[in-house]
Amino acid sequence: MYRNIALFVALAGLSAAACAQSAPKTLDIYFIDTEGGQASLFVTPSGQTALIDTGNSGTRDPNRIIEAAHAAGVKQIDYLLITHYHGDHVGGYLELSKLIPIEHFVDHGQTVQPEQVFDSRTAYDAAVKIHPHLIAKPGDKLPIKGLDWTIVSSAGKVLAGNMSGEPGAGLPNSYCADYKPKEIKVDLENAQSVGSVIRYGKFRFVDLGDLLWNWEAQLACPVNKIGTVDLMLTTHHGLAWSGVPALIFALHPQVMVMNDGVRKGAAPESFDTIEAAPGLENLWQLHWSANALLEHNVAEKFIANIETPETVAEVITHPPSAITNPGARPPDIGNPNHAPAYWIKVSAQANGDFTVTNSRNGFSKSYKHRG
């Protein structure tokens, strides 16, 4: 098991040299529909690939990842980063590993929930014993050619210092005046999440996995350690146990993507924060949300997977009951498998400009770098 970063980098270089995949002119990110889980595929201009998380257990989500990989011309995963060991993030590993080679593994180390043991986790533990494996720490860099990929949270800890040289990093954060910690009542494996800030040229993207509210605040208060970003994936699927306004407002994202499910994530409280975020131009959703109803769901063209009119009417006339545990997963409604399922694709240029595309309807919108 390789925990030595120098050795990990050397092995990564060999993988990059052997990579025969066609290289796009942009950094392409595929946000894959895993019904409220996570799976985000990165294809770099050098032809390297990275995958953050594998979605849920079974064959559905791995098959969706492979569909995106085929569309991108991807033949192997150079880096698999598991944010944490919940079933909607590592559950798809077993089946995915049967479908595509995976070269390097990145995670936060031991789980804080030993009961999180199932086939995918057992297979994952076996794989990291025989493959290059990095137990990430805040401040570590993933050696992906052409990208600056910085780990900003892992194993319950966040960056000790600021991301020097990045726009806005290290500045006092006035939004902290309104910050109030939460008494967290959900399991703390979420707080172990491996969070990343990924830069390609001037383009910056942040993904914090399911990092919880109080831990997010450590990245934002009293100073903004990360700086500003162009794109942000909503933390924790848009659940109210995450998404602290002091961080989102300070990051000043131009665009956000929400990896919600029909009844997973997309809490009204989170929408209130997103809708108030300064400088935000658009939110894109992987799903129409029963939790958000008509008050918060964005325009249909910005949603990758929508429900039938009959399902929407049923939700509107019989709204979801109050969820006392925002971390719980209520039963799905309508067509939980959404066949076919659609992804949201981001194509970023080194000058900071980027385009977001909804694969369901082909709708695209381009965003100019704000500088």
State how far the Cα of 279 lies from the Cα of 158, in Å rounded to an integer. Answer: 25
Pull the structure tokens for residue 109: 């180390």
The residue-averaged pLDDT of 86-102 equals: 96
The pLDDT assigned to 1 comes to: 43
For residue 16, pLDDT over 70 is answered with no
Q: Which residues pair with 54 in a beta bridge?
A: none
Amino acid 292: pLDDT: 86
Q: Residue 264: what are its φ and ψ, rounded to 5°?
A: -120, 125
The answer to whether the predicted template modeling score (pTM) of the entire model surpasses 0.75 is yes
CB atoms under 10 Å from CB of 322, counted, come to 5
What are the CB-based long-range contacts (under 8 Å, 24+) for 318-324?
319/290, 319/293, 320/263, 320/290, 320/291, 323/291
What pLDDT does 6 receive?
Answer: 53
310 by Cβ neighbours in 10 Å (0-12 / 13-18 / 19+) ranks as exposed
Confidence of residue 245 (pLDDT cuts 50, 70, 90): very high
The dihedral built from the CA positions of residue 121, 122, 125 and 127, taken in this order, carries a sign that is negative
Query: Quick check: 184 pLDDT over 90?
Result: no
Helix/strand/coil for 286: strand
Instruction: Give me the mean pLDDT over the 233-245 stretch.
Output: 96
State how far the Cα of 225 lies from the Cα of 228, in Å rounded to an integer.
Answer: 10
Which pLDDT does position 116 carry in this prediction? Answer: 65
- 22 alpha carbon, distance to own chain's centre: 24
| Helix/strand/coil for 314 | helix
If you average pLDDT over residues 42-68, what whole number do you get? 96
Confidence of residue 330 (pLDDT cuts 50, 70, 90): very low
Instruction: Please report the pLDDT score of residue 270 as a whole number.
Output: 96
**Token code pair at residue 87:** 């079933």
- Asked which of 22-31, 43-52, 128-137, 259-268 is least confident by mean pLDDT, the reply is 22-31
Could you tell me which residues are beta bridge partners of residue 316? none
* H helix intervals, 41-179: 60-72, 87-90, 93-97, 119-128
The pair of structure tokens assigned to 123 is 């297979």
Residue 322: what pLDDT?
A: 43
pLDDT at 5: 57
Answer yes or no: is pLDDT of 273 > 60. Answer: yes
Q: Return mean pLDDT, the chain.
A: 89
Please report which helix (H) or strand (E) contains residue 41, including its range: strand 40-43
> In sequence order, which residues have a C-beta less than 8 Å from that of residue 110 and are 6 or more positions away?
none
Confidence of residue 53 (pLDDT cuts 50, 70, 90): very high
Please state which CATH number belongs to domain 5-367. Answer: 3.60.15.10
Helical ranges in 115-267 per DSSP H: 119-128, 213-220, 245-251
Q: Give the residue extent of every domain in the chain.
A: 5-367
Residue with tokens 């006339």: 317
Q: According to DSSP H, which parts of 29-177 are helical?
A: 60-72, 87-90, 93-97, 119-128
